[in-house]
Amino acid sequence: MMKEVSIPNRIIMTPGPVEVDPRVLRAMSMPILGQYDPVFRGLMGEVSELLKIPFETKNTHTFAIDGTSRSGLEAAMLGLIEERDRVLIPAFGRFAYLWAELAERAGADIKMIEKEWGGTFEPSEVIAAIKEYQPKVLAMVHGETSTGQMQELKEIGRYCQENDVLFIVDAVATFASTPVKVDEWGIDIAVGGTQKGLSVPSGMSTITYNERVEKILTSRYQKELGLDPKVRNKRFIKSNYLDLSQIQRYWSAEGINHHTEATSMIYAIHEGLRLVQAEGLTDRYARHKLNEQAMVTGLKAMGLSIFGDPATKLPTVTCIEVPEGVDEAALRSTLLSNFGVEIAGSFGSLAGKAWRIGNMGYSSRKENVLLTLAALEASLLVNGAQINKGEGVLAAMKVYQEN
Amino acid sequence: MMKEVSIPNRIIMTPGPVEVDPRVLRAMSMPILGQYDPVFRGLMGEVSELLKIPFETKNTHTFAIDGTSRSGLEAAMLGLIEERDRVLIPAFGRFAYLWAELAERAGADIKMIEKEWGGTFEPSEVIAAIKEYQPKVLAMVHGETSTGQMQELKEIGRYCQENDVLFIVDAVATFASTPVKVDEWGIDIAVGGTQKGLSVPSGMSTITYNERVEKILTSRYQKELGLDPKVRNKRFIKSNYLDLSQIQRYWSAEGINHHTEATSMIYAIHEGLRLVQAEGLTDRYARHKLNEQAMVTGLKAMGLSIFGDPATKLPTVTCIEVPEGVDEAALRSTLLSNFGVEIAGSFGSLAGKAWRIGNMGYSSRKENVLLTLAALEASLLVNGAQINKGEGVLAAMKVYQEN
């Protein structure tokens, strides 16, 4: 007979999934409601309203999709792209290639412009590429977790709004931990996740889009065959499960039968968003910035180097260069098996060469920063690194004392 | 400020989502683990093994997909279908049209054969259609919740195995509550859900497939662009999120980075499957049959008519004809608002004409059957139905006393 699930204690300092507030876990343990129970439909409506807070948007169509973050990215791409539509994707890390992967599968003609990892684009570079390539859609990553860099979006978004380009943004790594100003920045579709800044378990993505997008979706709407075979559309979206024109109607008062909403995840996201509202965006972002500052100061005091341009550093991820002679994976194993502390490696050209420490949501706490620094110092020493002993934690504590 | 989620007490007797065992809810409230934490990867491996029990299969590739049931159906269709491939879909209720919807979006040439609602197909009818249409894929529904009918599959499956037809089955309404013998019946891909017989919240689908399917998936495998741009494939699957060739590798020892696994749902499904194992399939199915018998006996004693052919009735759903002069939706509203009892209406030609009472998983309990019958009798009387007073509950109690 299989034994019950038993969970060891962990300090999760990866770029996601991160620790979940106990209040969210408690919400998940509540009994199920039917998907058309008026109480449950009411909760869905509240989730839609609450989501507008971290997205800083007035968009009517703001809801959750029952799939992990990339399901929201794929839904966004499939909703806008028809065969041979042009998509421009500026890449400064791994996750732009996920946009490209999704665009390719949606049948787009793709143009990528690439930046060496460790920096971001000047808005003028992206705008120049738009002028040259004349895309229907510009797809960008806001916070690139693979490199710990964050792209400035406002100027690019404004250009897109004025020049009939659809601007879709992967805000998975920034949502609910760093400002994502959907309306002010001129973002047509923004996609967030649950398992990072929001500190809700993985399994849902969050999405918001404006009337420009709604118009396109409506023009492609095809009712599900089992519900009404008469409403056909030659330009139908190439997925049923990720068809935003249907999901939008599931979330609206119309309430068509699409999927069966993931009840417990709705409870979780409701509670996670309620905690965002209670903390307030300003305080929440300030907390993340302070914990980032303490972590970076501690790492530097230890003698480690932070990867990438500090001017465009992503507050929620700190990317550290692995010192000469240290085995990247062995260090992480020491950390996890002795201290229960989890950090991450990276991808592509940074695989084996960088560690990534997350600073997101409920994991972004003073004790987590200090414990991680302490555990990291010991683990580095055990793995043969030359670092400044006893400096890291004290430098971080000083940051907290002074702020 | 938004208030906390607060849940009214419910007796959920719909065809899903159904009530969740408190032990599953408790499992969901445990802290998060990282997706590559060895403990978490171990849990995923256990889930894969446990899933083989209700699927009655030895298939290596047996896992969960992070989306509601239809995400598994879509993944199955997308994995097998390339542009203009032929799919045969026999329809005896609404959910065959979901298969058709998914096949259409995957680019298939579709042939449907249709049966009047309330019955199922003779295997010979399906086999004759296979011979005539020569499809690559035969897609069928095992338990049709819209009509409360269950299709015999074994003879059809054997024919498919011997004649190079791929047989894919929607077992969402039967999985973990009624036998689904994947290997014995010759099913190439079977898809289940979590929110019905398994009594885990909605948000995941379960899938199993054999080596015939694996071979096709492998021939279409394309590595994600952000992980390795060199592994390209002209026949790539048209979704990244629902690409079984990638998800299979995420679940295997290779453990490629695809999505971020839905941690809490893995805990839930682990516990739900553990409870299936502990109860044993024979006892579990017998429990469902007994509760079905009590419910049907009680409904008939009340004077209500059961819709559809009794010889092929789906044990997990009882479809009741709405008596003359009774408002279908008003009755459900009376039930929910006064008794907290939820039952369902139906779709298509049965919309407004039938109620559906579920009998699935943790909801399939003696007290739920009896309370539902009692509440239904009172609600029918309040809504002006002519029924036999006081007969239903006693008739059901007698079934329990005699068994």
Per-residue pLDDT of chain A (403 residues), as tens digits, is 999 999 999 999 999 999 999 999 999 999 999 999 999 999 999 999 999 999 999 999 999 999 999 999 999 999 999 999 999 999 999 999 999 999 999 999 999 999 999 999 999 999 999 999 999 999 999 999 999 999 999 999 999 999 999 999 999 999 999 999 999 999 999 999 999 999 999 999 999 999 999 999 999 999 988 888 888 999 999 999 999 999 999 999 999 989 999 999 999 999 999 999 999 999 999 999 999 999 999 999 999 999 999 999 999 999 999 999 999 999 999 999 999 999 999 988 899 999 999 999 999 999 999 999 999 999 999 999 999 999 999 999 999 999 9
Nearest CA of chain A to the CA of B111: how many Å? 14
Distance (Å) from the alpha carbon of B82 to chain A's nearest alpha carbon: 13
Q: Using the beta-carbon criterion (under 8 Å), do A66 and B71 form an inter-chain contact?
A: yes
Distances (CA, A) of A165 to A322, B7, B101: 40, 44, 31
| pTM of the complete model | 0.98
CA-nearest of B54, B328, B372, B39 to B197 is B54
Amino acid found at B196: K
CB contact under 8 A, B264 and A201: yes
Averaged pLDDT for residues B181-197? 98
B 161-220 residues with CB below 8 A of A? 193, 195, 201-203
Q: Identify all chain A residues contacting B238, using CB atoms and an 8 Å cutoff.
A: 105, 238
β-pairing, A109-114 vs A86-91, is: parallel
**Within an 8 Å CB–CB cutoff, is residue B310 touching chain A?**
no
**Cross-chain residue pair B262–A203, CB shorter than 8 Å:** yes
Cβ of A30 within 8 Å of Cβ of B25? The answer is: yes
A interface test, pick of B65, B240, B273 with most A CB neighbours within 10 Å: B240
The predicted pLDDT at position B230 comes to: 86
**Start-end ranges of CATH 3.40.640.10 in chain A?**
21-276
Tens of pLDDT along B134-186? 999 999 999 999 999 999 999 999 999 999 999 999 999 999 999 999 999 99
Residues of chain B with CATH 3.40.640.10: 21-277
Residues of A in contact with B277 (CB under 8 A): 1-2
CATH of A282-402, one of 3.10.20.30, 3.90.1150.10, 3.30.43.10, 3.30.110.30: 3.90.1150.10
What pLDDT, in 10s, does the model give residues B314-352? 999 999 999 999 999 999 999 999 999 999 999 888 999
Q: State the number of CA atoms in the 13 A half-sphere of B243 facing the CB.
A: 28
For A:3-32, CB contacts with B below 8 A are 3-5, 7-10, 12, 14, 16-20, 25-32
Tell me, what DSSP letter sits at residue B56? T
Using an 8 Å CB-CB cutoff, list chain A residues near B7: 30-31, 33, 39
- Is the Cβ pair B240, A102 closer than 8 Å? yes
Q: How far is A89 from chain B (nearest CA, A)?
A: 13
Q: Tell me, what's the pLDDT at A208?
A: 98
- Asked if B27 lies within 8 A of A18 by C-beta distance, the reply is no
B3 to chain A: which residues are within 8 Å by CB?
A: 274
A26 neighbourhood in chain B, CB within 8 Å: 29
Q: Cβ contacts (< 8 Å) between A8 and chain B: which residues?
A: 33, 39
Residue in A195, A240, A262 nearest the CB of B201: A262
Check: CB of residue A259 under 8 Å from CB of residue A66. Answer: yes
A94, A146 contact by CB (below 8 A) = yes
Could you tell me the fold of the domain covering B281-402? Aspartate Aminotransferase, domain 1 (3.90.1150)
B7/A225 touch (CB, cutoff 8 Å), yes or no: no
Residues from chain A that touch B9, judged by Cβ atoms under 8 A, are: 31
CA dist., res. A40 & res. A28, Å (int): 14
DSSP per residue, A233-269: -TT--S-STT-HHHHHHHHSTT----S---HHHHHHH
Residue B32 has pLDDT above 90, yes or no: yes
Query: Structure tokens of B271?
Result: 């516990």
Tell whether B248 is within 8 A of chain A (Cβ): no
User: Please, where in chain B does CATH 3.90.1150.10 lie?
Assistant: 281-402
Cα–Cα distance measured from residue B51 to residue A154, given in angstroms and rounded to the nearest whole number: 48
pLDDT per residue as tens digits for the range B227-266:
888 889 999 999 999 999 999 999 999 999 899 999 999 9
Distance CA B353, CA A27 (A): 37
Whether B270 and chain A come into contact, CB under 8 Å, resolves to: yes
3-state secondary structure of A187: coil
Q: How confident is the model at residue B393 (pLDDT cuts 50, 70, 90)?
A: very high
Tell me which of B241, B270, B274, B328 to substitute to probe the interface with A (most A C-beta atoms closer than 10 Å): B241
Task: Give contacts of B16 with chain A, Cβ < 8 Å.
Answer: 260
User: Does B267 touch chain A if contact means CB atoms closer than 8 Å?
Assistant: yes
Separation of alpha carbons B102 and B105, rounded Å: 5
Q: If pLDDT is split at 50, 70 and 90, which confidence band does B353 have?
A: very high
Closest residue to A267, CB basis, from B3, B5, B69: B5
Sequence-ordered alpha helix ranges (H) in A163-236? 211-220
Q: Is the peptide bond before A17 cis (omega within 30 degrees of 0)?
A: yes
Q: Does the distance separating the beta carbons of B19 and A336 come in below 8 Å?
A: no
Nearest C-alpha neighbor of B35 from the set A193, A351, A18: A18
**Does B271 contact A at CB distance below 8 Å?**
yes
- Give tens-digit pLDDT for B263-313: 999 999 999 999 999 999 999 999 999 999 999 999 999 999 999 999 999
* C-alpha–C-alpha distance, residues B276 and B273, integer Å: 5
The answer to whether B239 faces chain A, any CB pair under 8 Å, is yes
Contact A249, A214 (CB under 8 A): no
β-strand partners of B167: B138
SS3 A373: helix
ipTM greater than cut 0.90: yes
- SS3 of chain A: helix, strand, coil, percent, to 5: 45, 15, 40
CA distance B51 to chain A (A): 12
The residue of chain A with its CA nearest to that of B34 is A17
Residue A34 is nearest to which of B14, B20, B278, comparing CB atoms? Answer: B14
Find out whether B238 and B220 touch, Cβ atoms under 8 Å.
no
The count of other CB atoms within 10 Å of the CB of residue B69 is 30
Residue B71 CA: distances (Å) to CA of A71, B102, B134: 11, 10, 27
| Contact call for A17 and B4, based on CB within 8 A | no
**Nearest-CA neighbor of A343 among A371, A305, A324, A323?**
A371
* A240·B29 Cβ contact <8 A: no
Q: Are strands A149-150 and B317-321 parallel, antiparallel or unpaired?
A: unpaired
**Does residue A335 sit at the B interface (CB-CB below 8 Å)?**
no
Using alpha carbons only, how large is chain A's radius of gyration in Å?
22
Task: Please tell me if residue A377 touches chain B, with a CB cutoff of 8 Å.
Answer: no
Q: Which of B96, B102, B203 sits opposite A240 (nearest CB)?
A: B102
What is the dihedral sign for C-alpha B117, B120, B125, B129?
positive
- Report the residue of A1, A7, A342 to disrupt the B interface, i.e. the one with the largest count of B CBs within 10 Å: A7
Chains A, B: CB pairs < 8 Å: 280
Residues 59 to 118 of B: which have CB under 8 A from any A CB?
66-71, 74, 94-98, 100-102, 104-105
State the best of A202, A237, A342 to mutate against chain B, taking most chain B CBs within 10 Å: A202
- Residue B274 is nearest to which of A4, A26, A237, comparing CB atoms? A4
Q: What is the CATH number of domain A21-276?
A: 3.40.640.10
Helix, strand, coil share (%) of chain B residues, nearest 5: 45, 15, 40
Secondary structure of residue A143 in the 3-state scheme: strand
In chain A, list all ranges with CATH 3.90.1150.10: 282-402
Burial label, A212 (beta-carbon count in 10 A; 0-12, 13-18, 19+)? middle
Query: How many other C-beta atoms can be found within 10 angstroms of the C-beta atom of residue B115?
Result: 19
Pick among 3.40.50.620, 3.90.1570.10, 3.40.640.10, 3.40.190.10: CATH of B21-277 = 3.40.640.10
User: Chain B contact for A271, CB < 8 A?
Assistant: yes
Q: Name chain A contacts of B99, Cβ cutoff 8 Å.
A: none
Position A226 scores a pLDDT of 83
Phi, psi dihedrals of residue A270, rounded to the nearest 5°:
-60, -50
Q: Does B224 touch chain A (CB under 8 A)?
A: yes
